[in-house]
């Protein structure tokens, strides 16, 4: 039996379980269980090809699925770019990589927003979800799937996940009372609530301390997840995986929160209050809690429910899940707890990043300081925005956004830094770059000019330095290291002054080769950050497309570049890092 037919059989069993298992007589239930057990035995006896596919688990990175109750903002773009950069880095190293993003389309907020728009929830989601997909495509995000929680396979996966939790005794029914936040789609304990004053209306209201969103007292009967039963397993996981949450400060906060104790989690809502969502299997009066529904998307993309032994074939466990700091509790406590309840391995790491502010104030629609990412990319260019967001974006802390900051970084790093270096090297009239590469690439250039020794050492270490930052989930530091190499190369060129030694062919060739080699290495390493601009740069340098992998970024590995693939004309240089239209 092939791997595909096995997956079909498992999904068939899953659908039978969801649709009819509870209504079957005991003897038929036993037969169904026996069939499932036979299927499981069959999975374990699959051919060596399955084992080999598991051994080649692709790198799997995810963004949170975005809530389409409003248009995308700059924070969404930042998350997408971080994920895409990590994915492209793994591909640069020659590894298979998968990126999943999408939209979280169920819940009370969507239900209410659709009602205000006088349309159905599905039509509302179709419209707004497309803007998020357009954002990903406009930003050159190389995603493998744009998942929607309204997708049929996701609905099946969620209901199957629920059924498994129920069969293991992790779900029970009970009356629930507490402070509920419609905006956050969650209940908060009394200790997490405080009274606040609306500065615009003067109205006082109860709000979540964590998000500042308004809460209301709610009493209802629904299904609960035994989160409290997972406390010890969660703490053990954190201890044994100290890098599970990045940065460490948020890991410490999570450990402290779990140590203080966990309450069981309400995981359904009455249909008369929330009709827009996935129904609880076997209970049409209840809708599955939007956060349980949403979190399962990460394993839906990975092929859940899996044939045993095939969990890794489509990427699970995720290597890195990227989220904003406001949803840490859901991803770092609830999500691993749900998975542990079914003995599914949690993700390897969760990268939590800060928010973007403007003038050091939180972006808000009511204040009118929300940045439209489409307008930003139209104004500054896609790769420039990717560059700026990664370089200035905050992981541990929030970052302040401003057009003047983008202009400053663009001029300093790209125009006057990288662009200037490329122009000085490739358009110099006193030498041939191709001739210098040909003459010097097979020689041990290091040590033949004390002035360049420091640069040689830096370039030798640069691929490992960059890789180390990427492994530590710090793309901003990696990008900064590349820019420092640009500045060091510019300084070397200025100090060496090859234009003043035109009669010394060896001296000029050595200096130009060092600079060209620096540009080649930097260009290769820049590809995950600025895919189009890096490709344009490497074309100008004449680097063959087959020689642009991470292994090619070592010094002296390419002696055939130096002849531009594109004409070195005024227009060509303008298109690399042109002057910005408006600099404010």
Please state whether 315 falls in left (phi above 0), alpha (psi between -120 and 50) or beta.
left
Determine the Cα angle at 58 with ends 2 and 480, to 5°: 170
CA separation for the pair 177, 28 (Å, rounded): 39
The DSSP secondary-structure symbol of 363 reads -
Question: How much of the chain exceeds pLDDT 70, in percent?
Answer: 86
Strand duo 283-288 + 265-266: pairing: unpaired
What average pLDDT does this structure show over 439-459?
74
Q: Using one digit for the tens of pLDDT, what is the confidence trace for 171-226?
A: 999 976 778 777 776 777 777 878 888 877 778 888 888 778 888 887 788 999 99
CA separation for the pair 508, 580 (Å, rounded): 34
* In contact, 146 and 301? CB cutoff 8 Å: no
Q: Using one digit for the tens of pLDDT, what is the confidence trace for 383-401?
A: 999 999 999 999 999 999 9
Q: Using one digit for the tens of pLDDT, what is the confidence trace for 224-236?
A: 999 999 999 999 9
CA separation for the pair 127, 146 (Å, rounded): 15
Determine the Cα angle at 323 with ends 318 and 326, to 5°: 145
What average pLDDT does this structure show over 7-36?
44
The pLDDT of residue 37: 35
Mean model confidence pLDDT for the chain: 87
Q: Has residue 557 got a pLDDT over 90? A: yes
Tokens describing residue 230: 């997972």
Count of all residues that appear for the chain in the document: 584
Q: In the Cβ-directed half-sphere of 8, how many Cα atoms lie within 13 Å? A: 5
What average pLDDT does this structure show over 107-120?
91
The pLDDT of residue 12: 56
Q: Has residue 21 got a pLDDT over 60? A: no
Q: Has residue 10 got a pLDDT over 80? A: no
- Residue 361 pairs with which residues in a beta bridge? 358
| Phi, psi dihedrals of residue 427, rounded to the nearest 5° | -105, 5
What average pLDDT does this structure show over 422-447?
84
CA 568 to chain centroid: 37
CA separation for the pair 457, 485 (Å, rounded): 11
The pLDDT of residue 208: 84
| Phi, psi dihedrals of residue 529, rounded to the nearest 5° | -85, -45
Tell me: cis bond preceding 516? Omega within 30 of 0 counts.
Answer: no
SS3 state at 441: coil
The pLDDT of residue 482: 98
The pLDDT of residue 198: 81
CA separation for the pair 329, 325 (Å, rounded): 9
* In contact, 507 and 495? CB cutoff 8 Å: no
Query: CA 406 → CA 259, 391, 412, distances in Å?
Result: 42, 10, 10
Helices 475-496, 74-92: inter-axial angle, 10-degree rounding: 70
- Residue 265 pairs with which residues in a beta bridge? 225
Q: Has residue 538 got a pLDDT over 90? A: yes
* In contact, 436 and 513? CB cutoff 8 Å: yes
Q: Give the pLDDT band of residue 354 (cuts 50, 70, 90).
A: very high
Residue with tokens 């090859």: 498
CA separation for the pair 209, 188 (Å, rounded): 9
The pLDDT of residue 52: 44
**How many CB atoms within 10 Å of residue 116?**
8
What average pLDDT does this structure show over 346-355?
97
CA separation for the pair 404, 112 (Å, rounded): 38
CA separation for the pair 255, 411 (Å, rounded): 43
Residue 146: its H or E element: strand 145-148
Q: Using one digit for the tens of pLDDT, what is the confidence trace for 242-290?
A: 999 999 999 999 999 999 999 999 999 999 989 999 999 999 999 999 9
* Rg of the Cα atoms in the chain: 27
SS (H, E, C) 81-116: HHHHHHHHHHHHCCCCEEEEEEECCCCHHHHHHHHH
**Long-range CB pairs of 130-133, under 8 A, 24+ apart, other chains included:** 131/68, 131/71, 131/72, 132/66, 132/68, 132/72, 132/76, 132/101, 132/102, 132/103
Nearest to 555 by CA among 432, 449, 437: 437
Residue with tokens 């239900």: 111
With a CB cutoff of 8 Å and minimum separation 6, the contacts of 448 are 510
What average pLDDT does this structure show over 298-308?
92
CA 443 to chain centroid: 42
In b/e form, how buried is each residue of 23-34, taking b as 16+ CB within 10 angstroms?
eeeeeeeeebee
* In contact, 174 and 224? CB cutoff 8 Å: yes
Q: Give the pLDDT band of residue 25 (cuts 50, 70, 90).
A: very low
Q: Using one digit for the tens of pLDDT, what is the confidence trace for 461-508?
A: 999 999 999 999 999 999 999 999 999 999 999 999 999 998 899 999
Looking at per-residue pLDDT, the higher value among 31 and 364 belongs to 364
Q: Give the pLDDT band of residue 575 (cuts 50, 70, 90).
A: confident
**Of the candidate ranges 25-34, 61-70, 346-355, 357-366, the one whose mean pLDDT is the lowest:** 25-34
Across 36-45, 267-276, 513-522, which has the greatest mean pLDDT?
513-522
The pLDDT of residue 205: 84
The pLDDT of residue 346: 98
Residue with tokens 């975005």: 66
Q: CB burial class (10 A; 0-12, 13-18, 19+) of residue 421?
A: buried
Q: Has residue 33 got a pLDDT over 80? A: no
Tokens describing residue 300: 């839906």
Q: Give the pLDDT band of residue 445 (cuts 50, 70, 90).
A: low
Query: CA 12 → CA 6, 7, 327, 378, 534, distances in Å?
Result: 10, 9, 34, 47, 47
In b/e form, how buried is each residue of 302-337, taking b as 16+ CB within 10 angstroms?
bbbbbbebbbbbbbbbbbbbbbbbebbbbbbbbbbb
Q: Give the pLDDT band of residue 36 (cuts 50, 70, 90).
A: very low
The pLDDT of residue 8: 47
What average pLDDT does this structure show over 322-345?
97
């Amino acid at each position: 039996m092939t791997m595909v037919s096995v997956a079909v059989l498992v999904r068939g069993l899953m659908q039978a379980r969801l649709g009819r298992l509870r209504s079957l007589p005991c003897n038929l239930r036993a037969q169904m269980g026996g069939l499932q057990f036979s299927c499981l035995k069959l999975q374990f006896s699959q051919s060596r090809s399955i084992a080999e596919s598991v051994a080649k688990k692709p790198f799997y990175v995810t963004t949170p699925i975005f809530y389409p109750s409003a248009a995308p903002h700059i924070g969404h773009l930042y998350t997408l770019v971080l994920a895409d950069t990590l994915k492209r880095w793994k591909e640069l190293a020659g590894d298979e990589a998968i990126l999943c993003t999408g939209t979280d389309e169920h819940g009370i907020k969507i239900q209410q927003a659709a009602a205000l728009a006088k349309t159905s929830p599905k039509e509302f989601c179709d419209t707004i979800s497309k803007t998020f997909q357009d954002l990903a495509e406009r930003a050159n995000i190389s995603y493998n799937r744009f998942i929607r929680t309204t997708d049929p396979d996701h609905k099946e996966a969620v209901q199957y996940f629920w059924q498994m939790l129920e069969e293991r005794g992790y779900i029970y029914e009970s009356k629930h009372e507490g402070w509920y936040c419609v905006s956050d789609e969650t209940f908060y304990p009394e200790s997490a609530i405080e009274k606040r004053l609306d500065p615009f209306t003067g109205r006082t209201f109860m709000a979540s301390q964590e998000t500042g969103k308004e809460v209301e007292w709610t009493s209802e009967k629904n299904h609960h997840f035994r989160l409290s039963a997972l406390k010890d397993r969660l703490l053990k996981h954190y201890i044994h995986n100290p890098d599970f949450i990045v940065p460490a400060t948020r890991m410490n906060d999570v450990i402290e929160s779990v140590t203080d104790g966990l309450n069981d989690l309400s995981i359904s809502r009455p249909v008369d209050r929330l009709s827009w969502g996935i129904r609880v299997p076997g209970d049409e009066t209840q809708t599955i809690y939007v956060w349980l529904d949403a979190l399962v998307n990460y394993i839906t993309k990975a092929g859940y429910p899996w044939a045993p032994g095939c969990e890794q074939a489509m990427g699970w466990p995720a290597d890195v899940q990227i989220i904003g700091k406001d949803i840490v509790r859901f991803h770092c406590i609830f999500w691993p707890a749900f998975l542990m309840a079914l003995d599914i391995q949690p993700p390897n790491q969760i990268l939590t990043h800060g928010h973007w502010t403007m003038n050091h104030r939180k972006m808000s629609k009511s204040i009118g300081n929300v940045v439209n990412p489409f307008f930003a990319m139209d104004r500054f260019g896609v790769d420039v925005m990717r560059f700026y967001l990664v370089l200035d974006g905050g992981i541990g802390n929030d970052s302040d956004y401003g057009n003047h900051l983008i202009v400053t970084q663009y001029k300093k790093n790209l125009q006057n830094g990288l662009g200037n270096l490329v122009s000085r090297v490739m358009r110099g009239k006193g030498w041939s770059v191709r001739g210098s590469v040909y003459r010097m690439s097979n020689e041990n250039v290091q040590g033949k000019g004390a002035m360049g020794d420091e640069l040689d050492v830096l370039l030798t270490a640069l691929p490992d330095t960059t890789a180390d930052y990427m492994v530590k989930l710090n793309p901003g530091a990696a990008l900064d290291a590349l820019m420092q190499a640009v500045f060091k190369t510019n300084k070397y060129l200025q100090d060496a002054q090859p234009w003043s030694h035109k009669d010394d062919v060896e001296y000029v060739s050595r200096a130009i080769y060092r600079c060209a080699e620096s540009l080649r290495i930097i260009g290769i390493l820049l590809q995950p950050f600025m895919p189009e601009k890096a490709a344009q740069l490497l074309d100008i340098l004449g680097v063959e497309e087959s020689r642009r992998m991470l292994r090619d970024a070592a010094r002296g590995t390419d002696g055939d570049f130096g002849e531009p693939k594109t004409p070195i004309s005024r227009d060509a240089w303008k298109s690399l890092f042109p002057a910005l239209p408006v600099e404010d």
